[in-house]
Each structure stands twice: as C-alpha cells, then as structure tokens.
Structure 1
C-alpha cells in the first residue's frame, strides 16, 4: 500500500502484545505525517500519540471505554452519549454529527452511517496523493458508503464456508410475536439491539408503552428521537411489552411469552433472527460495490478476518487480514 501513500500497522502494549485493531499513517494534503488509530485503546501519555482515536461505535469490542478518555478521541455525538451512559465516565474528545465533516490536523474526515447501532459511524478521508480511505466499523447497511481506494472493514459474518454466516432478518417473525400476544418480552442487549427492538415495534405500528430494564431504558431514551412511550419494568398500566437483556428474561412472569433477538441457538427461549450486521453475502457485495484497490479486514478477533480476506482474494480483490499486519513501519513514513 506504499504506492497508495498509506501505511497500516499495529502497535504493541507494554507487555509486548498487540493492542486491539490498527492504526493508519499517511500524509495530509499539506505533506504532514498524520496517524489515525482505529477502534483501539489509548497509548500511554508518555509515548507519542496518534492525531486521532477514531471510535466507530460504543460496543465494548471496539474499545471506546479506553479511547473516550483522550482529548484526541473522535466519534459521533450519539456514540459519545452511549459511551458515557454505558461506562459512567465523561467523554473527553470531539464529536461530529453523522453525515457531517470534522477536521483533524488539516485532514477533513467525512462521516457516514453504517446503521449498525444508533450513532455508529464510518470515517472517510483522502491523503496527499488522493487515495480515498474508508473505515467502515461494523456494517448493517452499506448502501450509503462512498467508493474508496483503501477499505478497512469488518468480517463478523465473513466466513463464506460457515452456514451460520448466511441469514435474513425475520421481520415477519418479530411482527407476529408482537401482534399475537397481549404480553410479550424480547431479549435484546441493552445497547444496539434494544434500540433496534423499539424501532421495529414502532415500524410495526405498536404505539403503546415499552417497558425496559434500566440501562436499556436510559440508552433508548437518550439515543432514539422517536422512541415513543417508554417505561421501567412494571411501571406502565398497559399490556406488558418488555425489552430486557436475554439473561433477564427469567426474571419476568413465567407465563409471559419470551423471545430472544439473535441468530444464536443456545438460549432456552425461541429466537428471532434479527442481526445488526451484514451476512457473508452482504459483506461481499459491499466490497464489490465499493471496488477498492486494497481491503484490510480488521475485526473481529479470531479466524473470520482471515477467512473473509482469503475469500476476497479468490474473487480478484487485494485483501489482507489483521493477523498478517506487523508493527513495522516503512522508513518512507518515519
């Protein structure tokens, strides 16, 4: 990627292990060296700092809990709210509304929604030689993402050889569970899936109260502009429609129908396939549509980035997974 004027590298912590995810070094249009660290933990203050810590969203495996404490952190305004609620800490960095542009050391970063969670953000910028760089974060809908030359993306369901990486959201199953029961509970993680559940309910025409566990309630009230009537568990006077974390379903009345919003099959309650990610087909289509010269698959941990990178290479794309990226920088960038 040196010909594209960009260096992707990984840093090591004080124990000699790689820090999460990666960093991007390039030159700005003014010729200044700039480094953006993506979804990673902070570098101790005694060491050189990146110009920005880009936080794509507030899920824990993207390390915003650490990066949010740096004044160099950048994320959407709603991601900052979610981080503060989830971790009971003040966000110290800068925020941007999704769809707007923010400037960092002479580099204009454009932001796009990837529809993974409320406020989740893809970041896009160009370097001194005009290379277009796109960091997607986790993606549910790639239709609004811009074309790019270097794509840095995820592979949560990126193993084409795994049948569980192919799915379609069961919106009709969700609608039926909601409309066929006067009392019903949905198991959904407090951040991301719980807000999706409320959005789906409103799209299905349900306008009554939704009772939620406290953290889910706090996040949903803060993040959704049109959440409607929300209440704590047991607070409303209407028929009970509840959203709680999956492990809290057992705390609700035994005769209440219960469903888990997941593609997993290891819960004791029936599951409804609702994902916040693209499946293997969608990820592949995203790369085909964006048509980058080079793709870096940086998330999650485990074998799937390598599987997806190999799949892309078999289709004629140049791709590499994070496990094949070293912490050695080219002298051209030092």
Structure 2
C-alpha cells in the first residue's frame, strides 16, 4: 500500500501546492471530510493562495516566526491562530490580523469542524491544532514544540523536526539553566542577546524564575512584544539607564552598542564558536530524543514531518519508521495541486 492509499484509509489527503513560478509553496495542506460529510482543506504554516483561486477553509498558523508565514496568512480572514500569536504578528509586521484567534486551550469552529488548541511552549502563544474527520481519525498539527506535556494522543501527527536527526550531535542538547543562573549571579551589569520575538520573552521568564524582580531594560520592539505577550513580565523599561546592577535584553546584533563595562552573552539554541560573545544554550525546541519521546507518547498511526529545509525531516521520518512508527517527510508527498486546479 502506498502513502496516498494509507492516508486515504485514514480519511486524509495530504498535498502540496505550487505557485506561479512552478515551485512548491511552503509546507502542506490537508484535505478531509467533517462529521457532516463536508469536504474541507486546512493549509498549514503556508503563504496565502491568490484570491482569484479557491481558498482553503483555514490557514493554520502555529506561531509567529517568519518561516511559518503568518505575515502572509494573517491577511486572510481564513487565518486561525492563538490570540497571542495574532498580537505578535500585528506587532512584528504592523498589519491587522484578519482571521480568527482564540486563547490557547480553547476550541473554535472552522465551518462545521471544531478545532481544539493546545500549548506547545515554543514561543508565547505557539499552538497545536487538533480535530477529527468523518471516519474518526484524530489529527494533530504541532508546529515547533518545546514542551509536549499537554498534547493529546492522535492517529495522524503532523509535526516539525528542526532537530530531528538522531545521528547529528547538533540535534542533542540540554538547556543550560544552571549556566544561565550562574552567569547572571556573577555579573554586576549584564546584557543578554536574544531575538525580539521568542527568545527575549523566554529570557525574561528565566530571569523572573530565578528570583530577579528588578527592572529589565529593552529596546523598543522587544519591549513592546514582551509587554503584550507575557502576562506578568515584571518591571520593564527602555534601554539606556545602565544603572548599577543593570540587566538588559537586546537583539544579538545590538550587544555591541552597549557600554563596554556591561557583560554580554548570547542566549541561543544553536551553539556556534564563531559568535562574538559567550553563549548560553537555551533552546525553544525539543532535541532529537525529545522529539522521539513525544511521538512515542502521542502514539500516532501515521506521522507527517514538515519543515525545515534540508534533510532533517527525512532523517526523522526514517528514524521513526525504523522504530515502527509509519512516517513520511514533506519531501515524500507527491500529491501536488497547482493554483490552476484549486
């Protein structure tokens, strides 16, 4: 039985679309029927289809990182994400989110399909989507995952594998929480280089978790995002005070603009010896073992691995197959619908 037949048995049609240049649009789409027998299409973390063509029922946006194409999808009234993701998109791109947003944990109806949301803790507001089709197949789309604790079991898992190659040492890591704490406690004035969306909010949460209750200085965009997205960020202020004991969180490329007497560190999930400043490893992803453990816990009948570019989706799918979990990567999906036929 080939891939298409296996998925059809589960009541799903997975396909990719091409744009006007003849190249694949990002990620994939899923066709299925609702319990009422209506045909639906959900597109996952992809750019919009031109309005002159038939639209999907929903553009699912798992989170607001640029490689998940919310900047494009947010302009459609068919987009669907969490309320925090919608806020992040609007703040990052200066455009109005036009779709449906819910608090993570809530359920929204896409037509006659109830779609439940679950936290993944990749970024503030990052969301997994869960629904069932007409034959009772439970479908879960995760996007990137940091903490899979709250994810439900499913029959078809559609997930990412940024660090999904078990044979690659770069895909095995632990967060250096002790190193983060020790670095903070041993510096009079300290600055953490962290990207404005995602890593900066995690850095603030880590600082509060280790007991720091003072002001955290930030540049404007990081400050705005953090105030909007974190429920209890504590005292935040504009960059530039630099008082004794100052703590700053700025984008990594801004570290060099700070006074020399401030100790500088990069908070990163990708350790790189060529980085200008010492690094503290804090990742927003599961590593390879974490991804495998997640799949074992969720226990799907079939897994589709999408994103990122490169061979890690294929490596992860191959590894899951070797463990007895039937899987394919996005590169194995040969069903293609071009815009001319949508």
SS in 2 for 1:191: coil
1:264 is matched with: 271
Equivalent of 1:273, from 253, 271, 281?
281
SS in 1 for 2:306: strand
1:61 aligns with 2:67: yes
Equivalent of 2:313, from 305, 308, 313?
305
Q: How many residues are aligned here?
A: 330
1:168 aligns with 2:174: yes
2:128 is matched with: 122
Provide the TM-score with structure 2 as the length reference: 0.95
1:197 aligns with 2:213: no
CA deviation after TM superposition for structure 1 residue 264, in Å: 2.1
1:292 aligns with 2:307: no
After superposition, residues 170-189 of structure 1 pair within 5 angstroms as: 170-189=176-195
CA distance in 2 between counterparts of 1:225 and 1:104 reads: 28
1:11 aligns with 2:6: no
CA distance in 2 between counterparts of 1:327 and 1:189 reads: 37
Provide the TM-score with structure 1 as the length reference: 0.97
CA deviation after TM superposition for structure 1 residue 238, in Å: 5.5
CA deviation after TM superposition for structure 1 residue 111, in Å: 0.2
Equivalent of 1:321, from 315, 326, 329?
329
CA distance in 1 between counterparts of 2:304 and 2:187 reads: 46
CA distance in 1 between counterparts of 2:51 and 2:159 reads: 28
Q: Which stretch of structure 1 is more off in the superposition, 53-62 or 257-266?
A: 257-266
SS in 2 for 1:34: strand
Give ranges in structure 2 of 5+ residues lacking alignment.
1-6
Q: What's the CA shift string for 1:30-73, capped at 9, x where partnerless? A: 00000000000000000000000000000000000000000000
1:85 is matched with: 91
CA RMSD of aligned residues (A): 1.1
SS in 1 for 2:43: strand
2:4 is matched with: none
SS in 1 for 2:41: strand
